[in-house]
Chains A and B, each alone.
Chain A
Amino acid sequence: GAVVSQHPSRVICKSGTSVKIECRSLDFQATTMFWYRQFPKQSLMLMATSNEGSKATYEQGVEKDKFLINHASLTLSTLTVTSAHPEDSSFYICSARDIQANGYTFGSGTRLTVV
């Protein structure tokens, strides 16, 4: 079945630095990928929709200059958390839509801790 690989699984960074998270579709092409954030014991909140070859669409309240999304190829989307602050510490999950299978496949998530 469709597989989405997300890296890194865990990252600890210092305040003020930037962190890049990668999301790859391994055996299918994904023109659209999605980035979610999940705080402890809470649900997933959609942050943005990443479109291959064009600008991402951000949900209301998500700062596009802080959460940079790049979807340069049909198999790779990246989320860069810029100038990270402790309040950005969260679990970030990507997903990709497999058009042929008409389903969504999720990455295994990235636990970001900003110290």
Chain B
Amino acid sequence: SQQGEEDPQALSIQEGENATMNCSYKTSINNLQWYRQNSGRGLVHLILIRSNEREKHSGRLRVTLDTSKKSSSLLITASRAADTASYFCATDSLPSTGANNLFFGTGTRLTVIP
């Protein structure tokens, strides 16, 4: 399976604290993306980091990528109750069939307590 794994599976923090989620994957990648999903809804793209990048920032989000360890982390700083959602990493792998596609990690369920 090309599916990645995330940890923790669930994370509960107080508003204002930082939340860190980790993702490990198995194959060589073009890039790695992080998505957010509110319960029963579609996915919202948060940030993309390319295989030749090591760190990327977007607002309160910070993503790191270590291709030697095949791992990535997502840090959400100064969390808010509205950040409560499931977060998925997804790897955009080198094409084997001629078409790129995304393979998703197992997800982290984040709960931010007001």
Report A's interface with B, CB cutoff 8 A.
Answer: 6, 32, 34, 36, 41-46, 49, 51, 57, 91, 93, 95, 97, 103-109, 111
Given contacts A49-B97, A51-B99, contact A43 B42 (CB under 8 A): no
B102 CB–A CB distance under 8 Å: yes
- Interface contact A34-B102, CB-CB below 8 Å: yes
- Interface contact A109-B41, CB-CB below 8 Å: yes
- Interface contact B42-A46, CB-CB below 8 Å: no
A95: B residues at CB distance < 8 A? 43, 102
What is the number of residues of chain B that contact chain A, defined by CB distance less than 8 Å? 23
A-B contact pairs, 23 of them (CB 8 A): A34-B101, A36-B104, A43-B3, A43-B104, A43-B105, A43-B107, A46-B101, A46-B102, A46-B104, A49-B97, A49-B99, A51-B99, A57-B97, A91-B40, A95-B102, A97-B100, A103-B48, A104-B33, A104-B102, A106-B42, A106-B45, A107-B42, A108-B42
Q: B92, B101, B103, B109: which has the most chain A beta carbons within 10 Å?
A: B101
Give the residue name and chain of the A residue nearest to B50 (CB): A102
Query: In the complex the two chains form, what is the Cα distance from A34 to B93 in whole Å?
Result: 14
Query: In the complex the two chains form, what is the Cα distance from A43 to B104 in whole Å?
Result: 7
From residue 61 to 114 of chain B, which have CB atoms closer than 8 A to chain A? 88, 92, 97, 99-107, 109
- Interface contact B88-A43, CB-CB below 8 Å: yes
- Interface of A (DSSP majority class): strand
Query: In the complex the two chains form, what is the Cα distance from A13 to B84 in whole Å?
Result: 32
Say which residue of A46, A105, A106 sits within 8 Å of B103 (CB atoms). Answer: A46
B99: A residues at CB distance < 8 A? 32, 49, 51, 57
Give the residue name and chain of the A residue nearest to B43 (CB): A106
- Interface contact A105-B45, CB-CB below 8 Å: yes
Give the residue name and chain of the B residue nearest to A106 (CB): B43
Query: In the complex the two chains form, what is the Cα distance from A106 to B40 in whole Å?
Result: 13
Query: In the complex the two chains form, what is the Cα distance from A109 to B35 in whole Å?
Result: 14
